[in-house]
Amino acid sequence: MEIEIISFGQITEFINNQKIEVDGITDTDAFSKYIENRFPALKNLKYKLALNKNIVQHNTEITNQATIAIMPPFSGG
């Protein structure tokens, strides 16, 4: 399954935008585990995900060709 990952804010400093080919990641909880494992610096951040431009509020199914944004705490205003 192909997932496009995009990052924002300070997360851009250690995760580049990229496409990954993975198997067995079927929901956003599984994605979080995967990405925290690959980028341990994420564990110290209260990041949020957006799946196909919807901010993820609770565990959500991921389908092929999904775009997942990894977003650090917001600091606009």
Partner 1 sequence: MSEKKIKNIFVNGPIAPAFIADSIAKHNSKTAIGGHSIFMGQVRKDEIDGKFVAAITYTAYEEVALEKMHQIREEIFEKYPLSCMHIYHSLGTVKAGEICLFVFASSVHRKPAILACSDVVDRLKVELPIWGKEIFEDETHQWKENI
- Which residues contact partner 1 by CB under 8 A? 8-10, 48, 50, 53-55, 69, 71-77
Q: How far is the CB of 12 from partner 1 (least distance, A)?
A: 8
Q: How far is the CB of 61 from partner 1 (least distance, A)?
A: 19
Cα torsion 65, 27, 1, 42: sign? positive
Q: How far is the CB of 30 from partner 1 (least distance, A)?
A: 22
For partner 1, the closer of residues 22 and 55 by Cβ is 55
Tokens representing residue 36 in the block: 């925290």
Three-class secondary structure assignment of 27-72: EHHHHHHHHHHHCHHHHHCCCEEEECCEECCCCCECCCCEEEEEEC
For partner 1, the closer of residues 1 and 48 by Cβ is 48
For partner 1, the closer of residues 33 and 73 by Cβ is 73
- CA 47 to the chain's CA centroid: 9
